Amino acid sequence: MPKTVEQIRAEYEVAGGRAFFAEGRFAVVNCTFKDSKNGNRFATVELRDGTGSFTARAFDAALIVGIDEAGAIDARLKVEEFNGAMSCVINAWDVAELTSDDVLRLGGLDPEVHAQRVATLEAWLGQCDGTVYGDVLRACFAEPGTWEAFCMAPAAVRLHHAEPGGLVRHLVEVGSAGLALLDSTGTDYDRPYFLAGVFLHDLGKLDTYTLPPTISYTAQGLMGEHQIWSTFRLAKACGVAGAPRSVEARLLHIIEQAHGAYKHAEWQDALGPEAKALAAADFFSSRLGETEKERKAQLALDRLLADEAAAGAARGFDSLADGSASPSGEPTAQATGLF
């Protein structure tokens, strides 16, 4: 019976070092090939489903062929302990045929939530209709299959929103945060221009990353950053829409400033509140993804708290949560309204 990543990990925890076999359906997130000391080639594969991910290896030459292009697989694994950690070896696999919803679920996403995010973007796109910015956006998505690819694309390979539909999730966060910033000023702003920036600033990711399940860099992505490819798509769309050069310049500026305001665009300050809001919102959303360093730091903190709790020494976090007094009898920061 197929098992999830979570179930395989749970069985490993109670197996006591005993080897066992497990079957399951997994997305091949990424795959690398290496040569062992004896010259034999093997594959290291990150497998993921909706409950988590783990690394597996394939040593049989026949099993290595095509696994990096499979997208998703139905796999039989041998699971055992090696050097004190769970080791998974792929004994057999077949390509798994997936629908778009299957791809989302293997990435840990709810298809209904994703559909709601897509609907938000469609509504924003509709709000731009009747403007030159709307004409440019419609030209960007006019080619058959572009909108569908856009809705499934990841926002990154490793950093933030590196998941099926990750680009949609990122853009909804950016657009919502940016609009809130602009509304907070109480002054007028160009809403269609800002929304065009939301769509356009990461549009080049359709060129730089492969579509899920397996997310990796394309040849274009290895040769140039995604914002460069965004400007290529912008130029083409402006030509199709017959947009004035001034409009093309404004849109190119907001794409550049979305990525450069914090790093490498010191030569030009962001022009207008729309570009500034987009840059700030994009920076915020991009930091929501959990990096490996953050995961390690959180794990270390959790272990420290567990050790303190076991020793009866945990004092700040639990009391802050309910506003209770500290061991000295003084009210906590939360109780006094400091936080």
Helices (H), 99-145: 100-106, 111-128, 132-140
Question: 43-80 pLDDT, tens per residue?
Answer: 888 888 888 888 899 998 888 888 888 888 899 999 99
Here the contacts of 76-79 (C-beta below 8 Å, separation 24 or greater) are 76/21, 76/22, 76/23, 77/8, 77/21, 77/22, 77/23, 77/24, 78/19, 78/20, 78/21, 79/8, 79/11, 79/12, 79/15, 79/19, 79/20, 79/21, 79/22
Q: What is the average pLDDT score of the chain?
A: 83
Task: Read off the pLDDT of each residue in 252-281 and give the average, rounded to a whole number.
Answer: 73
Find the mean pLDDT for residues 80-108: 87
Identify the pLDDT of residue 291: 62
Report domain extents, the chain.
5-95, 109-286
Query: Strand (E) positions, the chain?
Result: 20-35, 41-49, 52-58, 72-82, 85-95
* Banded model confidence at residue 38, pLDDT cuts 50, 70, 90: confident
Instruction: Please give the pLDDT value at position 126.
Output: 94
Is-contact 4 49, C-beta < 8 A? yes
pLDDT at 51: 85
Q: Across residues 183-196, what is the average pLDDT?
A: 94
**pLDDT at site 322:** 53
Q: Is the pLDDT of residue 336 over 70?
A: no
Q: Helix 273-286 and helix 191-200: axis angle, to 10°? A: 40
The more confidently predicted of residues 214 and 130 is: 130
Distance between CA atoms of residues 123 and 111, nearest Å: 18
Range 115-119 average pLDDT = 94
CATH of domain 5-95: 2.40.50.140
Dist. CA 235–CA 229, nearest whole Å: 10
Q: What separation, in Å, do the N-terminal and C-terminal C-alpha atoms of the chain show?
A: 50
Give the pLDDT band (50/70/90) at residue 334. very low
User: Which residue is it, tokens 């001034």?
Assistant: 246
- pLDDT score for 264: 45
Task: Say whether 132 sits in a helix, a strand or coil.
Answer: helix
58 neighbors 70 (Cβ within 8 angstroms): no
Environment class of residue 189 by beta-carbon count within 10 Å: exposed (0-12), middle (13-18) or buried (19+)?
middle
pLDDT for the residue 150:
92
Indicate the range of 103-107, 175-179, 278-282 predicted with least confidence. 103-107
Assess whether pLDDT exceeds 50 at residue 172: yes
CB distance 87 to 81 below 8 Å: yes
- Place 104 in a pLDDT band, splitting at 50, 70 and 90: confident
Q: Looking at the predicted structure, is the pLDDT value of residue 331 above 50?
A: no
Q: What is the pLDDT of residues 290-318, one digit of tens each?
A: 666 777 788 888 888 888 888 876 555 55
Does this chain's domain 5-95 share its CATH topology with 109-286?
no
Confidence at residue 263, expressed as pLDDT on a 0 to 100 scale: 47
Per-residue pLDDT of 118-166, as tens digits, reads 999 999 999 999 999 999 999 999 999 999 999 988 888 777 887 888 8
Mean pLDDT to the nearest integer, 106-113: 85
- Please give the share of the chain, as a percent, with pLDDT higher than 90: 34
- Provide the pLDDT for residue 326: 47
**Mean pLDDT, range 85-110, rounded to an integer:** 86
What is the third-level CATH fold of 109-286?
Hypothetical protein af1432 (1.10.3210)
According to DSSP, the β-strands at 41-49 and 52-58 are antiparallel
pLDDT of residue 268: 57
